[in-house]
Amino acid sequence: GMGEASGEGRAIAAAKLASTNPLLEGDSIRGARKLIMNVTGGRDLTLGEVTAAADQIRRATATESDLVFGAVVRDDLTGRVQITVIAADFHEAAGGKEERAVRRERISVDENLDLPTFLRREQRAGEEGKAD
C-alpha cells in the first residue's frame, strides 16, 4: 500500500494510510509476516519519523513480522512524507487453520536395510510406477 501525508505527525499518518490502502488485496497488512517499507521525504525527514513509521507498520500487522525498511531523501518532498509498504506471507486470521503439506512415509518391516534410503525410495517409486 501507499500513503502520503504532511504536517505534524506526517510519518505516522502516511504509515496508517499505507497499511490500509485499497490497493492491498485484503484491505490491510494485518497478518503479514514479511514486510518491506520505503519512506521517502524531503531534507527535513528525521530518523525519528522513519522509526515512528516503522513502529506504526509493525503495530498494524498484529503479528510477529520481519520488517525491512529504508529511507530516501528527495528535495521536492520537503514538508511531506511518502510511504510504500509491500506485505507478504500472510497467515489466516484467528480461528482459521493454516494448512501445510505433509509427506507420509510408508513403513515396511521387510525392507532391505542394507540399501541406503535414497536407493530404497527409488526402488519404491519404480515399483509404484509399474503398478499404474
Q: Is residue 105 part of a domain?
A: no
Q: Is residue 102 part of a domain?
A: no
Q: Is residue 56 part of a domain?
A: yes
Residue by residue, pLDDT tens for the chain (132 residues) are 899 999 999 999 999 998 887 665 666 788 788 889 999 999 999 999 999 999 999 888 867 888 899 999 999 999 999 999 988 877 655 444 555 556 666 666 666 777 888 888 888 888 777 665
Q: In the chain, how many domains are there?
A: 1
Sequence-ordered strand ranges (E) for 42-96: 66-73, 80-90
CATH code, 16? 3.30.1330.20
Kind of pairing between the strands at 32-41 and 66-73:
parallel
What does the alpha-carbon distance between residue 47 and residue 50 come to, in Å, rounded to a whole number?
A: 5
**Domain containing residue 17:** 2-90
- Read out DSSP for 104-130? PPP--TT--TTS-HHHHHHHHHHHHHH
State pTM to two decimals.
0.64
Q: Is residue 9 part of a domain?
A: yes
Q: Is residue 115 part of a domain?
A: no
47-83 per-position pLDDT tens digit: 999 999 999 998 888 678 888 999 999 999 999 999 9
The per-residue b/e assignment along 72-111, b for 16 or more CB within 10 angstroms, e otherwise, is: eeeeebeebbbbbbebeebeeeeeeeeeeeeeeeeeeeee
